[in-house]
Amino acid sequence: MVKKIIKKLLPEKVILFYHYLVALVATVIYGWPGKKMVVIGITGTKGKTSTANFIWATLMAGGHKMGIITTASIRIGEQETMNKYHMTMPGRFVIQKTMAEMVKAGCEYCIVETTSEGLKQHRNVGVYYDWAIFTNLTPEHLPSHGGSFENYKKAKGKMFVGLAKQRKKIGGQEIEKVIIANKDSEHADYYLNFPADKKITYSLKKESDVKAEQIKETVSGVDFVVGGKNFKLGILGGFNVYNAMPAIIVGRLAGMSDEKINKGLSELNLIPGRMEIIDEGQNFTVIVDYAHEKQSITYVLETGRAMRKPGAKVIILLGAEGGGRDKAKRPIMGELSAKLADQVVVSNVDPYEDDPKEILEDIATVAEQFGKKRGEDLWVIEDRREGIAKALAMAGENDIVIITGKGAEQSIVIGGQSRPWDDRVVVREELKKII
């Protein structure tokens, strides 16, 4: 409450300057850890956490010790802890302390999943990026940027500006600055225009430096070809090829062979809360995924439809955030779920201080407009546990149940109050009641 009052009273510039000073102090206290590793920044609207994990798995397979800070988890080498902070980029002291722990553990590389909000609040100060990756860009978090997509795009550009700083690191060694960008995004050229020693593009559609072809989804992952070389992912979803492409580029930059890169990609079979299969012996498939906007919801539903056997259903649980988050995506989610899922459960994600019923109805009423009927193939269940239980109870043999919106987040915020929560744990608990 005190923070809210202060934010209302003080100009935003003053608050942001405070954030900058805090970040600078944290950097000094923890000994400038960003200068002692090659730092890889990943920004974009979706796919950042998966991209970070694919890079982690690739470089680890090449014998390089890695650290990552992502929405889902924080890894230092083989050690993983869940991100309990309910934000992708934790506070300045947490980031610097974590990076210092990576240095102490002997990490050569550090990946920082980087958000527009984190950049706006100067959480990037002292991170010192060397390689910058752009995944994609779609409208999201616009209220935080004055409702402007252009402001949102430019905010992410601050990570690329950071490449020009601190060229000499790790004992005075000059680190090559690299931009890696998804050429299939119409916004790639904006980020490619920033200065760098090397610029590398990847794609699935347009011509680029590194292009994936012959993509084939399997029951255990995805097969694809890059430059005549075969690669395999141990994670479901053809869309994950986009997320794996930067790992191939990074692996090659680190001097790894394609065989070693493929070993890392194929042996990674779990990214917390990202197309994560929950198996308690049930006769249907349950997937927990972070999908929470147009493109990611489309991807997971298309994957579910591709996986299902003839006669099987795709059931989705979805919702949207409150707290001033983008309201425009709610009707889009309603339309997509109505068109691509057989049965839909609309339930809480993180309403924050907003009225949960209003959020749910913004999705459900549009789903009705596109053919869904309440009580038949559409249910609005405010309590998330009850919603999950309903989705699971409706599933029959070979059905696909997709629980979206939170992934591996470790808390849920309702009425301004945060409490512990993990979709994966709740799904397992509810499954055990019915099998």
CA 208 – CA 132 distance, rounded (Å): 17
| Average pLDDT of adjacent 10-residue blocks, the chain of 435 residues | 62 83 95 96 95 97 96 94 90 94 97 94 94 90 69 94 85 93 97 97 98 94 97 96 98 98 97 97 97 94 95 97 88 98 98 96 98 98 98 98 97 95 98 94
Give residue 155's pLDDT: 92
320, 230: one domain: no
Q: What CATH code is carried by the domain that includes residue 178?
A: 3.40.1190.10
Of 267, 301, 322, the one marking the end of a domain is 267
Of 267, 293, 319, the one marking the end of a domain is 267
Give residue 5's pLDDT: 63
210, 302: one domain: no
29, 134: one domain: yes
Give residue 61's pLDDT: 97
pLDDT tens readout for residues 173-215: 899 999 999 999 999 999 999 999 999 999 999 999 999 999 9
Q: Which long-range contacts (CB under 8 A, 24 or more apart) does 162-166 make?
A: 162/41, 162/124, 162/127, 162/128, 162/129, 162/132, 163/129, 163/130, 163/132, 163/194, 163/195, 163/196, 164/195, 165/128, 166/34, 166/35, 166/128
What is the total count of domains within the chain? 2
Give residue 325's pLDDT: 80
Give residue 250's pLDDT: 98
263, 319: one domain: no
Residue with the two structure tokens 């980087």: 114
Whether the pTM exceeds 0.95: the reply is no
339, 424: one domain: yes
250, 317: one domain: no
Q: What CATH code is carried by the domain that includes residue 412?
A: 3.90.190.20
171, 316: one domain: no
Give residue 183's pLDDT: 98
Give residue 18's pLDDT: 87
98, 203: one domain: yes
- Candidates 45, 28, 40; CA nearest to 66 is 40
Q: Domain limits at 430? A: 276-434
What is the pLDDT of the chain when averaged over all its residues? 94
Of 203, 238, 267, the one marking the end of a domain is 267
